[in-house]
Amino acid sequence: DTHVWVSVKALCQDLCVYFTHDHIYGWRHSHEPICPFTFISATKDWIGVEDPKLPIALGDFNNDNHSDIIVVQRESTNISIFFSYGNGSFFKTPIVSARFSSSPYSIAVGDFNQDNCLDIAVANHDHNNIGIFFGHGNGTFANEYIYSTGSSRPLSLSIHDLNNDKLLDIIVANDSTNNIGIFLGDDNGMFTNQMTFSTGFDSLPHAVAVGDFNNDNRMDIVVANAGTNNIGVFLANNNGTFLNQTTFSTDVYPISVAVGDFNNDTRLDIVVSNNHGNNIGIFLGNGNGTFMRQVTYATGFGSYPSSVAVCDCNRDNQLDVIVANSGNDNLGLLLGNGDGTFKQQQLYPISSGSPQIIVIEDLNNDTWMDIVFAIDDTYNVGIFLGGPDKNLTGPTTFSTGPQSFSFSVATGDFNNDTILDIVVVDYNEDDIGVFLGHGDGTFAIKVAYSTGSNSQPTSVAVGDFNNDNRLDIIVTNYDTNSIGIFLGNGNGTFLNQTVYPMESDSNPLWVAVGYFNNDTKLDIVVAAYGIAKLYVFLGNGDGSFSIETTYSTDIGPATIAIGDFNNDTRLDIAVANYKNATVGVFLGKGDGSFLNQISYPTDRGPNSIVVGDLNNDARLDIAVANYKSDNEKVMERCCPKQHIQLVTANCNDSTITVLLGNRDGVLSNQTVYNIGSDSCPYSVAVDDLNNDTRLDIVVASRYGTNNVVVLIGKGDGMFLKQLSYSTGYDSSPTTVVLYDFNNDSRLDIVVTNNGDNTIGVFIAKGDGTFSNETMYSTGYNSAPWGVAISDFNNDARPDIVESNGDGWNIGVFLANEDGTFSKQITYPTGNQSEPTGIAVGDFNNDNRTDIVVANYGADNIGVFFGIGNGSFLQQVIYSTGPVSGPYGVAVGDFNKDDRLDIAVTLSLSDRLAICFGDGNGTFSSPTVFSTGISTYPWYLLVFDFNHDNWLDIAVVFGNVAGIGVFLGDENRMFLVPLRYSTDAGSAPQAIVVSDFNNDKHLDVAITYSKTNNVGVFLGLGHGKFSNQVTYSTGINSQPWSIAVGDLNNDMQMDIVVTNRKNNNIGIFLGYKNGIFGNITMHSTGSLSDPISIAILDFNRDNKMDIVVANYDANGISIFEGNGDGTLSNQMTYLTGYSSHPMSVAIGDFNKDDWIDIVVATLGTKNVKILLKLC
């Protein structure tokens, strides 16, 4: 068979990815499926929870794609936010300034004003109102906005879109007035006045939850009525109102409620915590809004269960229940059997107090659900991390003190246990902090060693100064004009500091160590910033040092690098002189003394310096970052044999400077490279980035341009045109380091972004280019500065430690095997981007599936490069021109160069555009072909219609009722399109290609949303087609998306369409002559609005199945094929509140040989993951 599956794309602002499992097109001869229809969501929605004692909720409050924890301190009426690092650990911020009006009893979160920033709703119990705090997206909030609840004493909140207007509404349980209140949201974040629905006399409603209990695609409400010992179910009307409650008896004093499908019958069930009954109750749903009689499970005598939550905790595809047993200070886990029954609870003790509220979420991005709970007695938050083990990835933070400023960091094995430890200088605390490693990437708490009152230490280094095989520490004390030596005891402890004074106002800023007199005793060199000198202390080998020797530098020596610059086997010194804008070189004599400085001018403000062989002549060169320079300089060669090359970063004039040297260590004139106007190069690193045995340069530009710049070396001291990689707006990158993080023999880049509190990792492609930055949060207001790399957990993978100057801590990021440090979940396409069409292909020939999306609102296409594990890099954007309106997108090799190209319809400029690929993930600017005036091209597909071995393109015209076929041509690329008219006013929506009559000519089928039919053009060969034959899809059906496949195994292609107005999909079974039978319909659910469709055998039973995106139902449906053209077992997977999925496509994104699903959505502006489980 020759056929093409094409999914229709419409205006949307999201991508969703779903994963299946096993071989893509492998057909089985057995009729039994080998993989069940089970998917797991790897994406996250906001979660709101209630608690009568300590309110807590989860949400991404600073838009870093990590779920943070928010807790209300009832007595102080303040908010505390714990910002997530994405690995299950959190950084507590200072108290957020938002204050509640009185006694906040419950908190929930959601985006009320649709600005993509989470907002907060709070039930203020004592003042009888609801408070709304609009979020700014950075973890801060506007002042409280009040909505009265009367004299109700509101106790609990829940948030959902109750009236299907795509706006969030609020449900509140009013304890004093025995009712629930509904606040309907409007499009500016405001709410209507409260509507109330009675829960009964003395009912004392304590908790609310929502779910569709009667399968009518409307959200219903369940409330736990503690006073009358029942739950009340309010079935929804279609306008945000509800029928009177129906009650179902519980045990004594129900105070928490949750919903889930416990017996896998696609009907929602309810679990309730019966606080005074010391049990939980399960109500199995009948699917019509009624429930079976409660079945209880004991939680233990005196347990007083206060909260329940639902998740698949052990990943067996059966829902489990978590209960907070506040009376017994433990959590109970009841594993589900999948039939609505549960195993006996497993207990997890909590030593620090009584758990009050539970929230379930994957906090460390390992796809295992974790548990967050509030502890009432001690006002703490506790976390249980789920999974087969407790090994975590991502940053772990360790406090260095409440007022510390961590300026420098170093590593070493201080207690001789073969595990690396960390030492950090705390400038504000006047001490150094030692963190002993545990070997798993975690560290003991800081042990501080004083460097003296008002010493303000700035730099640290380690070495064995007394030759006892125990590491010692040296530190520069800036304000007390001294250096301090801490001799190690070998067990992780150190003797008190031994001070070596320097001159008054010397202000030592930097320290380095080396064997300057070749006597196997470590020596020290110190940059005295205040008096423009270098101090050299020769070691005696017993931990003491001889009287220092000083050498004059230019003004403001800031940093030091050490190497043998003239190949005489003697160590030399290079220093970056910040104020004088020079680099000084001191050639070593081998006896511990040095020649006077040879000074080389740089551009303004050199403040970072590194050494390496930049021109591949076996001679060390030097790179410098210039703080106030906008370009980069390289010294021109003066003679055939040059050795030393100095690279300086000049921030003041945005340059870097490269100086080539001779064998005797003398430098030639400099060559300057401009890094960009106002770029402020701040840090440099050198190494071979493209494996050509020639050194390259990486520069971090701190201000203005906020980027990392790569210069590829030619091997002769000259450098090719620079490549720039953004580190983000106002990111202020300060330090750059190179390392192979993913073990692919290619050096990657890590940079600390001081301005936006992240580190960024750029993974190398091996040709000197890099993927876009992957950022990892270092914590709110952390201001990361220094960075070092080592293996902290002995897994043979390089991990990262960084110092957070304003965050008062250091951060450790443990590496995953693929070079990432935490799993990215959502992939934004940009503000106002309105992503529409989507397609997949391997654009960079790495055998990993990538994604391309047409961003209608942003006039560009975005490419997401696949990592191979189901996650993707941040999009790379290619402009399609102003007011072009890119709509549909497809891929193919249009110029036969064995590289994938991208075709996109430009709906607003009446053009078809081709971006030709170069095979490494980059594309040319668009080459455009006119589709005709006012044609409004929408969708397209690619195939060889005339069998000439050149790909052709068929385009649907949205404005002139027709299609156009662009035939590929060797000489002119694409000929003028052949046009085929459809019925006037038919509004063609989607197009698909297949051979419907088995004549080896491709045919075309199109959906028409206004004439409510499908049109079929049978191919005649040579790219020409017969007149159209139409097939009705039903009165007012509004067919939209179309797909083809052999649904009844008769070797004939059948057609499936989505009928949006009739809320169903329609099947046309094909006959041998290209004729189709009458439509057979299958409901997708009331008010579901099916909008996109795709076909594949997902469970490998040799029967084609169907996946549908349901726009208004906020989910996808999968229909299992029976092999005879009929369908059964519709399964629904939600894509998130108000997500509005718009289109689906299929491909193997995680290289597991199973077809996955990618979905574009309109409402939530992110990429969601659904993994298929087998």
d(C-alpha 577, C-alpha 529), whole Å: 9
Whether residues 290 and 371 share a domain: the answer is yes
What pLDDT is recorded for position 1048? 92
Buried residues in 79-118 as b, exposed as e (16+ CB within 10 A)? bbbbbbbbbbbbbbbeebebbbbebbbbbbbbbbbeeebb
Which one-letter amino acid corresponds to residue 186? D
Measured CA to CA in angstroms, residue 1174 lies from 266, 945, 1152 at distances of 19, 39, 12
Q: What is the pLDDT of residues 250-274, one digit of tens each?
A: 998 999 999 999 999 999 999 999 9
Q: What is the pLDDT of residues 1078-1101, one digit of tens each?
A: 899 999 988 889 998 989 887 778
What pLDDT is recorded for position 1061? 92
> Coil, strand, or helix at residue 799?
strand
Distance, first Cα to last Cα, the chain:
29
What are the tokens at 326? 């506040």
Give the pLDDT band of residue 937 (cuts 50, 70, 90).
confident
Cross-strand pairs, 776: 759
Domain containing residue 1165: 982-1173
Q: Is residue 125 part of a domain?
A: yes
Whether residues 460 and 582 share a domain: the answer is yes
What is the pLDDT averaged over residues 201-213? 91
CA atoms within 13 A on the CB side of 71: 27
Q: Is residue 327 part of a domain?
A: yes
- Residue 73 burial by Cβ neighbours in a 10 Å radius (0-12, 13-18, 19+): middle
What pLDDT is recorded for position 266? 92
pLDDT at 220 over 70: yes
User: What percent of the chain is modeled with pLDDT above 90?
Assistant: 21
pLDDT at 464 over 90: yes
> Coil, strand, or helix at residue 943?
strand
d(C-alpha 854, C-alpha 834), whole Å: 8
User: What percent of the chain is modeled with pLDDT above 70?
Assistant: 73
Whether residues 284 and 338 share a domain: the answer is yes
Q: What is the pLDDT of residues 351-391, one digit of tens each?
A: 556 777 677 777 666 777 777 766 655 445 666 667 664 33
889, 912 contact by CB (below 8 A): no
pLDDT at 392 over 60: no
Out of 579, 611, 626, pick the residue that ends a domain.
626
Q: Is residue 16 part of a domain?
A: no
What is the pLDDT averaged over residues 853-858? 81
What pLDDT is recorded for position 105? 78
Lowest mean pLDDT among 141-150, 654-663, 741-750: 654-663
> What domain count does the chain have?
3
Q: What is the mean pLDDT of the chain?
A: 76
What pLDDT is recorded for position 44? 32
1043, 1093 contact by CB (below 8 A): yes
d(C-alpha 218, C-alpha 241), whole Å: 11
Q: What is the pLDDT of residues 235-252, one digit of tens each?
A: 998 877 899 999 999 998
Whether residues 383 and 431 share a domain: the answer is no
Secondary structure (H, E, C), 1120-1140: EECCCCCEEEEEEEECCCCCC
The CATH number of whichever domain residue 87 belongs to comes to: 2.120.10.30
751, 760 contact by CB (below 8 A): yes
What pLDDT is recorded for position 778? 66
Whether residues 283 and 432 share a domain: the answer is no
What pLDDT is recorded for position 614? 53
Whether residues 568 and 430 share a domain: the answer is yes
Give the pLDDT band of residue 308 (cuts 50, 70, 90).
very high
Q: Which residue has the higher pLDDT, 998 or 578?
A: 998
Q: Is residue 366 part of a domain?
A: yes
Which residue stretches of 862-918 are H helix?
none
Q: Is residue 418 part of a domain?
A: yes
Residue (of 993, 990, 943) closest to 968 by Cα position = 943
Q: What is the pLDDT of residues 134-175, one digit of tens each?
A: 888 877 788 788 888 888 888 888 999 898 888 899 999 998
Whether residues 150 and 241 share a domain: the answer is yes
Q: What is the pLDDT of residues 546-569, one digit of tens each?
A: 878 899 998 888 888 888 877 788
Out of 586, 607, 626, pick the residue that ends a domain.
626
Whether residues 463 and 394 share a domain: the answer is no
Q: What is the pLDDT of residues 3-59, one digit of tens each?
A: 332 223 222 223 333 333 333 222 333 333 345 444 433 333 332 333 334 567 778
3, 24 contact by CB (below 8 A): no
Q: What is the pLDDT of residues 518-556, one digit of tens each?
A: 888 999 999 999 999 999 999 999 989 887 889 999 888
Q: Is residue 641 part of a domain?
A: no
Q: Phi/psi at 497 (nearest 5 deg)?
A: -60, 135
Q: Is residue 893 part of a domain?
A: no
DSSP for 557-612, please give it: EEEEEEE-TTSSSS-EEEEEETTTTEEEEE-B-SSS-BPPPEEEE-SS-EEEEEEE
Whether residues 336 and 481 share a domain: the answer is no
Out of 337, 368, 399, pick the residue that ends a domain.
399
Measured CA to CA in angstroms, residue 1074 lies from 209, 986, 1024, 1054, 1103 at distances of 52, 22, 16, 10, 21
Q: What is the pLDDT of residues 74-109, one digit of tens each?
A: 555 566 777 776 666 565 554 443 344 456 778 888
The CATH number of whichever domain residue 1010 belongs to comes to: 2.130.10.10
d(C-alpha 490, C-alpha 233), whole Å: 67
Give the pLDDT band of residue 397 (cuts 50, 70, 90).
very low
d(C-alpha 176, C-alpha 123), whole Å: 13
Whether residues 394 and 413 share a domain: the answer is no
What pLDDT is recorded for position 387? 64
Residue (of 633, 641, 837) closest to 719 by Cα position = 633
Whether residues 88 and 155 share a domain: the answer is yes
d(C-alpha 252, C-alpha 229), whole Å: 5
Q: Is residue 879 part of a domain?
A: no
Q: What is the pLDDT of residues 1104-1120, one digit of tens each?
A: 989 898 888 888 888 98
Give the pLDDT band of residue 295 (cuts 50, 70, 90).
very high
241, 315 contact by CB (below 8 A): no
Whether residues 107 and 254 share a domain: the answer is yes
